[in-house]
Each structure stands twice: as structure tokens, then as C-alpha cells.
Structure 1
Amino acid sequence: MSPGSRREPFFRHPAQVVAFAFAAAGAIGTVLLMLPTSRAGEGGAPFVTALFTATSAVCVTGLTVVDTAAYWTVPGQAIILALIQVGGFGIMTLASLIALFLSRRMGLRTRLTAAAETRSVGLGDVRRVLRGVFLITVVVESAIAVVLTLRFRAEYDDTWGTAAWHGLFHAVSAFNNAGFALFSDNLMGFLGDGFVLMPISVAIIIGGLGFPVLMELLRTRQPRTWSLHTRLTLLMTVVLLVGGTAFITLAEWGNPGTLGPFDPLGKLLGGWFHAVQPRTAGFNAWDYGVATDETLLGTIMLMFIGGGSAGTAGGLKVTTFIVLFFVIVAEVRGDDDVIAFDRRIEHRVVRQAITVALLGVAAVIGGTMVLTELTDLPFRDVLFETTSAFATVGLSTGITPKIGDPGQFVLVALMFLGRLGPITLVSALALRERNRRYRYPEGAPLIG
């Protein structure tokens, strides 16, 4: 075969592999959920219901149009659980491997910088990444499943089989930041139970930190040796958790539909749990339809920011957000360089952060405009819903089943875009980077 007649590879970019893999998983899940054995009622699930549920599961979102506990049989619930596991494991693995792939495509100087700043995926090997993600997943999910199983068995009179299934399902759903629950009211029946809410919160936080951060924390506990990525991720995680807990607790303190009936310790537990969920887990222990406007607005902001990179969380990502914060600081101070923890952030990273943030804002605004035209639902509920879908959170004020088939297709697109968009976009930008041999004359348009 002559060189000119050689066929081009089907996938010429890692972003294509990621998108195809998740689309294929969603398609297979849709077909399986349409089988009569997956649905508790007669016949199989309608196509739109199966598609929406499969996409929500594989994108580890948690939005639902039907009651997961009542609508799906145990085999159907097992399919949803498998999709959640595939989606969460796939995101952590693929994001880490893309970082590894990109580091090897860059120049030597950039590769050495990447190796110093993302030690767990910089110049490592593929097998180490896969083994690390697998071990972390198994250990965390197993430990949380045991704790929840014992609690469900001891306190809620579940049989050992039911308790074990509930414990396993919610442990996997929590670690993968999915938000699916096997109770008709999600977790509203456990609002005052710290033995259920705290293990789930811990699993959510661990999964949302991201594989590079987890591997570095396991390797060393000395903060002065941590990479810039780990420092930024941990700093923003603490700030958002503490600040979110304080804000939501105060906003809901006297609300009779949420925290009002509880004592101060119960209020603090409820505020903490609902500050963790926008990271982007999607469990709810109260009805967001009766939450205050302040809580909904604060939750929208937390959902949009999201969690850590190369983890199971969605959203803009905390590192993107804090890089933009340091950009503002540098501009206000008149600095030429963006500095964070005595490290100069590359202009390439700054441009990527701005691009991801602006496209994320455009996706949320665009989705909100479309759903506003398609439905007569309140604007605040629609904005909450679209942000939740794009950030793959899964929280809702209860309007998801009311949106209708066209609106559900919009949410499916937002979930898919939000889950894969940041990863594919950043990898595409990095691979397209090139140095021009010439520079255009400067221009200075007026700003502000």
C-alpha cells in the first residue's frame, strides 16, 4: 500500500475517544433500560425516559424524571449503578490519561514543568494511573458501603440483603458524585441522621478532589512539597465547604420547610450536607422547592464552580475558578504575571481558564433561554435546573419531570456537554497550541 493511500486513523484526537466512549456507554444503557426486565411496570421504559436516565447515570449527574426506587426493578437499578461506576471511573481515568498524553506531546521544558506540578500523571505510566484509580475507587466505595450497610440494618430495620444493596448503591453513587438514591424522596428521610449523611459527604469530597490530588496526598502529607495544583484544589475545597456551610445554614436557619424544626447541631449538619452536594453530588435531604431564594442562588454559584479536575465532580472546576481569581488580583495590582503560591501561572493556562469559563456561562445561559421558551416554569427553577445539568450535579427544585420531552433533550445535551466539555476542550486547546514566527502590531481597544 502506497503512503498516499494509507487510511487516516478513525480517532485522531483523544477528545474524540472520550466523547465516543461516553456516547456508546449511554446508548448501551438506554437500550438496556428499555428492556421489560428493567422496569417495574408493564413493558419497557419509553425511549426518552431511558435515554435521560442513562445519560444522567453515565454522566454522573443524578437528575431523574421518574422515581428510581419505584420505577426501576433491581436489575434496572443495577444497570444504573453500573453506568454510574463506568462514568465515574472513566472520567477519572480518561482525564488523568489525557494529562499524561498531553505532557508527552509537549516540549521538554513544558513536560518537566508538568511533571513537577502534576506529579501523579506527569511522566508516569498508564498502568500506574489505571491501578491507582481502581484501588482508590474500590477502597473508598467499600468502606462507605460497609458503614452505610450497618446503619441501615441497625436503625431502619432493613434486612441484611436490603441494607447491603442500599449501602453499596449509595456508596457508589456518592463517590462518583452521581446523586442517585433508592428512596422516593432521595435522602429527605435522613436529614437529621449524621451516620448516613456524613459518610456520604466524605465519599463525595474524596471523589471530587480528583485522582492527581488523592495520589499526591497519599504519597506525602507535607504541604510544602505539594504541587501548585494540589494546593489550589485543597484551598478552594476548604473555602467553598466552610463558606457554603455558613451561608446555607444561615439562609435556611428559620425556614420551617428545611432547617427550622432542628436544633443548632441538626441545622449545622443539614447546612454542611447541602454545601457538599453542589460539588457535584446531587443528593438532597430537603425539598429545594421550598428553599429560600438566597439558598438557590448560592447553590447555583457552588454548582457552577464544581469540584476538582480529573475527579468525579463536574462544573467549571475549582482550579479554573481560583486561576481566574488570581488573574483579577494580578490585574488590580498591575502585575505582568499571574502569581499563585510563589509560582507564575503560564499565559496558556490563563487563556484556557477564561475560555472554559466563558463557554460554561454561554451553555448555562443558552440552555436557560431555550427551556424558558419551551416551558412556563418559573425562571429561578429553570436556571437552577440548567446549571445543575451542565455542572452534572443533579439537584432540582422538582421540575425535571414537568419539562417535557423537548426540554429533556436539552438537559441531556447539557449533561453530556458539561461532563465532557471541559476535558475535551482543554485537551483540544493544548494540542492546537503553536508558536507563530511573526507577531501582529498591538492594538488597545477600550475596556469597560
Structure 2
Amino acid sequence: MRNWQPLYSYQTYKRIKRTGLLRASPPVVLAAGFLALILMGTLLLSLPAASQHPISVFTAFFMATSAVTVTGLAVIDPAVALSHFGQVVLITLVQLGGLGFVTFAVVAAITLGNKMSLKQQALALEAFNQTSVSKIRRTAFLVFKTSIGIEAVAALILALWWWRDHPLATALYLAVFHAIAAFNNAGFSLFPSSLARFVNDPVTILVITFLIILGGIGFSVLGDVGHKKGWAKLLPYTKVILLGTLALNLAGFASIWLLEAGNSGTLGGLPVHGQALAAWMQSVTARTAGFTSIDITQLHDSSTLIIILLMFIGGGSLSTASGIKIGTFIVLLAAVYSYIFHKKEVVLLKRSISPGTVQKSLALLLVTSALAFVGVLLMTTFEKAPFISILFEVVSALSTTGLSRDLTPHLSTASQALLTLLMFAGRLGPLTLVYSLATQKRSRVRYPETEFQVG
């Protein structure tokens, strides 16, 4: 037994040398791909041409991680610290990270007429969260065409609107940057204080929030809506995600407006339409975009907790958003409802949910909660900051939201390194990360059931 591991390593080395292939599960390959993209971004952002003044390698690494994981947390102001080249690198990393390097790889392979190998198919299935190989190509092209089309239309609208205050070239540059950032749910902005100057601007706020919703709702939902073009024909999953998104956005909007209407530091000093736009912006951006139009450090703790909950839930599956996902949250609610009212099945829209889906949802909730707990625990030992701000920062990083109570730039290197790990884990998905670290093995042994007291 003592010689088994070296022998195994030698055999593995010989196989890799002979075949040129490293056998790894799709989640591991995905993680490696994102890590490679982060390292490439770090190298580019470290170049003297990428910044107005020299920045450290760690700062470049943090910004690259935040961009690839479409988070938006920043230790420097990209509008001031980065050159135009650096800003282009940053938003390109956002686009690649948001759509996924697998999407571009699959589209490129199809365009060149290459057939996908079984390993490439498994990798694409993992990336697209699909179970059918036949759907890979259609999903890849759907993601690519839908994203570029939506971003182009939104960028054109923003450019024409902002042309009033900027030269056309500048307005177009700003519009493209923010359209990509918003659709990919990354909160980077080239304006001071994010979108605070547009707090009363309905065109800018509505376009940005529309992009956030479309990017975070999921490409499978967008594809189903575009293909069916009728509520009755939509898949049950699509209906659940659309209704859940609407309910969460409206609940957050109403709660934030109600709680902050009398707060002079946030909504109190705005006209009624400005309050509505600001409350809507903060509700939508918490799912998980990171833009702000008000000073969120002045929010009441009650409003802050609501935003934390919205960040934790996140957006839809197969989207640019993260969090535990709306589908997971709704499945868990349905499971609780079924247990309380003694239902034999977990049912949504007259469709039964499999026990495996319920178990996956519960596992995702527990793993994400555990990561958040560990993150908060570690950061409280590293920093002397209000607990609510630390909790907010950790959940924002883990859900790849990018909102911050002005804490990120002032954190210690240890805390900033912790945030990069949380952003990476949140983008890949906690379950994918766990699977990457420990390959699941099915046991053929069955054990007798026993009564076990819980609750």
C-alpha cells in the first residue's frame, strides 16, 4: 500500500505523456479554464499601458477575478485608475466570464465544422447545465446571439441618450461598457459613484435594470419565451422563473421604498419618481449586478438585510447571475409547503419535482450557507468593521453581486484574498466546486432504513 500512490502517479504521468490528455471531470476543466482566464487578465492588467499609475500584481489579480466572475467588486476605481486599454481589458474579461469560455469554444468549434468529442460534450453539458447533448449547439448559439443582440440594442439606446452630455465617440464608448457590464451582471462603472448621477433619469435606470433582468433570468428562459411566444405554451420551469423574478423584484422594490422613504441619506431627499427609480434600481441590482444609484452605506439595517437576502437568492440558472438561484429557492419553498401540509409530492404548477432536485437544492443551500459562514467568520477575525458590513461584503462576493458598503478598498490583503476565493466559488457554483474537489462515487451497498428524529 505504501508504494501505491507513487506507482499511480508514475502511471498517470506516463499516460499523460503518451496520450497528451489529462483526465479530469468537466467541473475541474471549467474551474481551470476560468482560472486561466483570470491569470491572463492579471497579466494584461499588470502591464504599464493598462493603468494611469502602476498597480500591484495582487490588485490586477483581484480586478481580473472580479471581472471574470462578473462580480464588480473593486479595490481601485476603473474610471480613474485604468487607462482606456485597461478598461477594454476589464470589460472583455466581463464578457468572456459572463458568457463563459465554453460558449465561445463551442461556437468556434461549430463554426470551423469540427465535431465535438465525448469529453467536449461532457464539458459543455456541465457549463450549460443541460442533460441532452442535442441541446448543446442550440444553447451555445442562443447564448451568443441573444447576448450580443441585447447588448447592441441597449448600447445604441444609451449612446443616443448620453450623446446629449458627451461627444458621440465618448457616449458610444460609455454605452458599450455599461451595456456589457449590466447584461453580464457585473457592477463596474466608468462614472463616479456608479450610477448616482442618473438617480432621476428614467431612460438610463430602466435600460440598465432591463439589461440586468434579461442577463440574470437565464438563457433557457429567454429561448423558451422567444420560441413559444405564448404563456400557455411555456415550460413550467420558464413560468416559475418569470413569476419568481417578478415577485422578488417587486417585493424588494416595495420593501426598500417603504423602509427608506423617510431616510434623507438615501431616498428621503428625492422626488417621488426619483424614489421609485432608486428603489427599483436597488431591488433589481441586488440580483446580482452591483450598480447603485444611491449611497448604500446610508441604508437602514433592515433594508440592508433585504438586499443581502436578494443577493443570496440571485438569478436564474444558465444566466450571468449567481447566488443559489431562483429555481433553488422556489423548490425549497415548495418542499417546505409540501411537508407542512402533508403533501406526498413536491408540486409546482401541477408538475411533480423529483426528490433528486429537492436534494440538490437543499445541498446547494447548505453549501452556500456554509461558505458564507466561513467567510464571515474569517473576515471578522481579519477586520475591525461593523458586522452588517462584513456580512454584506461576503454575501456580495459569494453571490458575485459586486455591491459594497465602501469596504472593499479598505480591507486587508488577507480579506481581499478571501473575497477572490469567494467570487471564484460563487461563479463556478458551490456544488460544482465541491464536485471538483471530491469525485462522487456510488456505492452498491444498500442499508436498512431506520427512524431518525429531526426538528
Same fold (TM over 0.5): yes
User: Given the superposition, is the C-alpha separation of residues 178 and 208 from structure 1 closer, same or farther in structure 2, using an over 3 Å criterion?
Assistant: same
Distance in 1, matches of 2:100 and 2:451, equals: 44
User: Secondary structure of 2:222's match?
Assistant: helix
Q: Matches of 2:156 and 2:328 in 1, distance apart?
A: 35
User: In 2, are the aligned partners of 1:62 and 1:393 still within 8 Å (CA)?
Assistant: yes
Superimposed CA distance per residue, residues 327-354 of structure 1 (whole angstroms, 9 cap, x where no aligned partner): 1011111122211111111111111111
Could you tell me whether the CA contact under 8 Å between 2:33 and 2:101 is conserved in 1? no
Equivalence for 2:159: 149
Measure, in 1, the Cα distance between the counterparts of 2:186 and 2:101. 12
Q: What's 2:32 paired with? A: 20
CA distance in structure 2 between the aligned counterparts of 1:437 and 1:260, rounded to whole angstroms: 63
1:382 matched to 2:394: no
CA distance in structure 1 between the aligned counterparts of 2:431 and 2:77, rounded to whole angstroms: 31
Determine the structure 1 residue equivalent to 2:141: 131
Note the 1:191-340 alignment, pairs <5 A: 191-340=199-348
> In structure 2, how many angstroms separate the alpha carbons of the residues matched to 1:427 and 1:413?
16
Q: Distance in 2 between matches of 1:160 and 1:57?
A: 26
Q: What corresponds to 2:428 in structure 1?
A: 420
In 2, are the aligned partners of 1:352 and 1:426 still within 8 Å (CA)?
no
2:27 aligned partner, one-letter code: A
| Contact preservation (8 Å) 1:92, 1:312 | no
Task: Output the aligned Cα RMSD.
Answer: 2.8
TM-score (norm. length: structure 2): 0.88
Deviation by residue 1:412-436 (Cα, 9 ceiling, x = unmatched)? 000000110246259779x9485x6
Structure 2 SS opposite 1:279: coil
Match of 2:447 among 420, 432, 440: 440
Aligned to 2:65: 55
Structure 1 residue 91 displacement after superposition: 7.2
Aligned counterpart, 2:6: none
Residue 6 of structure 1, CA deviation:
4.6
Mapped pair 1:29 → 2:41: yes
67, 74, 77: which one aligns with 1:64 = 74
Distance 2:243 2:146 in 1: 22
Is residue 2:52 matched to residue 1:40?
Answer: yes
Contact 1:356 1:425 (8 Å CA) reproduced:
no
Q: Report how many aligned residue pairs link the two structures.
A: 428
Corresponding residue SS for 2:344: coil
Instruction: Measure the CA separation in 2 of the matches of 1:345 and 1:428.
Output: 26
Partner amino acid, structure 2, of 1:137: S
Residue identity (%): 37
Structure 1's unaligned 5+ residue stretches are 106-113
Map of 1:108 onto structure 2: none
SS of the equivalent of 1:248 reads helix
* Equivalence for 1:84: 94
Give the conservation status (yes or no) of the 8 Å contact 2:91–2:181. yes
- Unmatched tracts of structure 2, length 5 or more: 1-10, 108-117
The 2-side partners of 1:21 and 1:215 are apart by 26
Stretch of structure 1 that moved more, 11-20 or 359-368: 11-20
Deviation, 1:119, is 12
Aligned to 2:4: none
Change (3 A) 1:195 1:303: same
Distance 1:34 1:235, change over 3 A: same
